[in-house]
């Protein structure tokens, strides 16, 4: 992203694609049974593929450079769902144009020999720049964190999802991933690059109760306090939110997004389907991030602009920017 140019990142999350099916007796667990009943009694009426398709169709008209999907593409972690989601991602864009981090519904139960979300590996892998960054740091066996560069903007994908007991939707990053994140953030800052973190669970302790929040949110907050970041994007709460984390170089915007599949309000608790456009504009070494929210304002309505704000204005990009 050279001076005067704009990078547009689209953020979408919690699609909960209604593709449940293709399972036999060996797929049933207590958690899946409870999740299936929850789907039949409520979510089935609220989450629709048409809402997701409407957002994607609208997105196509806004010259999006890259799409970030922060998890919960599916519902019960079934192999057939995971396979269908892989097909959906291929239709959404190439692995170079789309980045994905998994959510708790994507990694719902232990799958033993099944590849699970590894079906989406191309969308969750570091590019050549990221591989070089991680060469001296190391990612986990599942490839997280991954690092992908788009001009002066770098996406850092985290995996907060792991199988949890029934009635628990919490997440965990773990010490290895948090340690790698800290080293990646420090290295990218030294290169004068804008760092955007992608995670499914809300990464601050104040944003969710423990049984459905990030269990090591305090650890994440401490990393941000030491190293900073330019933007954090998450899903999971099915609502639109903006809070600010204390960073080493100033406050860091932490943006949550409504569920992309929500076409009907469920018990008045959640917002309707939406995606965000994050526009990064650089001028003379300074960067501005603008957020434009687009989605449904009423049930059965059309996708339109519902919010516009500047998240961070004119913060300096400095350091070694070779290869920008």
- Mean pLDDT on 243-263: 95
Within a domain: 304: yes
* Mean pLDDT computed over every residue of the chain: 91
Counted domains in the chain: 1
Within a domain: 180: yes
Range of the domain at 227: 6-316
Domain of 298, CATH number, reads 3.60.21.10
Residue 44 pLDDT: 80
Within a domain: 322: no
Within a domain: 284: yes
Residue 136 pLDDT: 85
- Mean pLDDT on 111-137: 94
Residue 224 pLDDT: 98
275-299 tens-digit pLDDT: 999 999 988 778 899 999 999 999 8
Burial 97-120 (b: 16+ CB within 10 A, else e): ebbbbbbbbbbbbebeeeebbebb
Beta bridge partners of 98: 67
Residue 223 pLDDT: 98
2-58 tens-digit pLDDT: 555 689 999 999 999 987 776 666 677 888 878 878 888 878 889 999 999 999 999
- Mean pLDDT on 134-163: 94
Global confidence as pTM? 0.94
pLDDT over 90, % of the chain: 77
Return the closest-CA partner of residue 243 out of 211, 205, 213: 205
Neighbours of 125 (CB within 10 A): 18
Within a domain: 308: yes
Within a domain: 321: no
Within a domain: 92: yes
Full DSSP string of 261-315: TB-S-STT-SPPPEEEEEEEEEETTEEEEEEEEEEESSTT--EEEEEEEEEEEEE
296-318 tens-digit pLDDT: 999 889 999 999 999 987 777 76
Return the closest-CA partner of residue 69 out of 50, 55, 83: 55
Q: Is the pLDDT of residue 219 over 50?
A: yes
Query: For residues 4 and 221, which has the higher predicted lDDT (pLDDT)?
Result: 221
């Amino acid at each position: 992203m050279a001076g005067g140019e704009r990078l547009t990142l689209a953020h979408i999350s919690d699609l909960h694609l209604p593709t449940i099916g293709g399972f036999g007796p060996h797929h049933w667990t207590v958690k899946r049974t409870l999740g299936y009943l929850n789907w039949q009694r409520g979510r089935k009426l609220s989450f629709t593929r048409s809402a997701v398709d409407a957002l994607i169709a609208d997105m196509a008209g806004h010259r999006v450079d890259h799409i970030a999907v922060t998890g919960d593409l599916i519902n019960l972690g079934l192999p057939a769902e995971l396979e269908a989601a892989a097909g959906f991602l291929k239709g959404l864009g190439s692995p170079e144009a789309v980045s994905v981090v998994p959510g708790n519904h994507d990694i719902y139960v232990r799958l033993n020999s099944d590849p699970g979300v590894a079906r989406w590996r191309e969308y969750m892998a570091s590019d050549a720049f990221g591989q070089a960054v991680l060469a001296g740091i190391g990612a986990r066996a599942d490839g997280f964190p991954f690092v992908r560069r788009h001009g002066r903007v770098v996406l850092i994908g985290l995996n907060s999802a792991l199988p949890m007991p029934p009635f628990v939707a919490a997440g965990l990053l773990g010490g290895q991933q948090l340690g790698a994140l800290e080293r990646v953030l420090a290295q990218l800052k030294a290169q004068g690059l804008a760092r955007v973190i992608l995670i499914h669970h809300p990464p601050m302790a104040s944003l969710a109760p423990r049984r459905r929040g990030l269990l090591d949110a305090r650890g994440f907050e401490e990393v941000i306090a030491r190293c900073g970041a330019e933007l954090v994007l998450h899903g999971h709460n099915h609502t639109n939110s903006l809070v600010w984390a204390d960073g080493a170089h100033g406050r860091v915007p932490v943006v949550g997004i409504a569920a992309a599949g929500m076409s009907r309000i469920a018990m008045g608790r959640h917002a309707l389907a939406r995606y965000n456009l994050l526009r990064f504009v650089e001028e003379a070494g300074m960067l501005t991030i603008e957020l434009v929210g687009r989605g449904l304002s009423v049930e059965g309505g059309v996708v339109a602009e519902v919010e516009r704000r500047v998240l961070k204005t004119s913060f300096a990009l400095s350091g070694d920017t070779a290869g920008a």
